[in-house]
Chain A
């Protein structure tokens, strides 16, 4: 059974710092992995989707990497801004099932 873990559960850093959020999964037979952002009281916004054949995806200041063999993905945020404050969730889709298995999220606070 696939399990997705995100560490740390919460992170607070000063504005301007580069930071890394971690996501690990137990079953490497994945179809893709997605990173989402959730603002308080809001829905989820898809940030990046990495197919199983890809190693990384980039969008603006965000870069997500995928290492299937080790069951890990990282979300790198460059030059963090207060507007990046949110909860970041990763979700994995397996090869045999359309369902997304979700991590519990990392709550990120960027201090001005």
Chain B
């Protein structure tokens, strides 16, 4: 049963610390999305990769967030330095397609709390 995995599932950290979230997309999928979900804003797209290339990261605060795909089996989202307003659930999703209109398969999320 192929699925997207994310680690860690939960993270509590102090303001100013670096946070790294990892995602393993479904094998064979060529698109990866990073989302952030909060009660106030709902789901927000942070970054989008196709064939490991970043196509859009306009949703990310560039001064503190960075997203990479070191290889086809790993996507990372880093926050440095973290701030309390970054507290949210971060989802990774993967899909197979060329235009981004394909079905997206979501991971279970990383629940981040920045104190």
Contact = CB atoms under 8 A, between A and B. Distances in A.
**Which bucket holds chain A's interface residue count?**
20 to 34
Contacts of A43: 4, 91, 106-109
Contacts, number: 44
B101 A46 contact: no
B99 interface: yes
A98 B104 contact: no
A100 B104 contact: yes
Interface string A9-46: 00000000000000000000001101010000111111
B27 interface: no
Given A31-B101, A93-B101, A98-B100, A44 B45 contact: no
Interface in A60-112: 89, 91, 93, 98-100, 102, 104-105
B43 A89 contact: yes
**Which bucket holds chain B's interface residue count?**
20 to 34
Contacts of B45: 99-100
B48 A34 contact: no
Given A102-B42, A104-B42, A93 B103 contact: no
Interface string A45-57: 1100100000000
B5 to A, nearest CB: 10
13 contacts: A43-B4, A43-B109, A44-B93, A49-B103, A93-B100, A98-B48, A98-B55, A98-B99, A98-B100, A98-B101, A99-B45, A100-B45, A104-B42
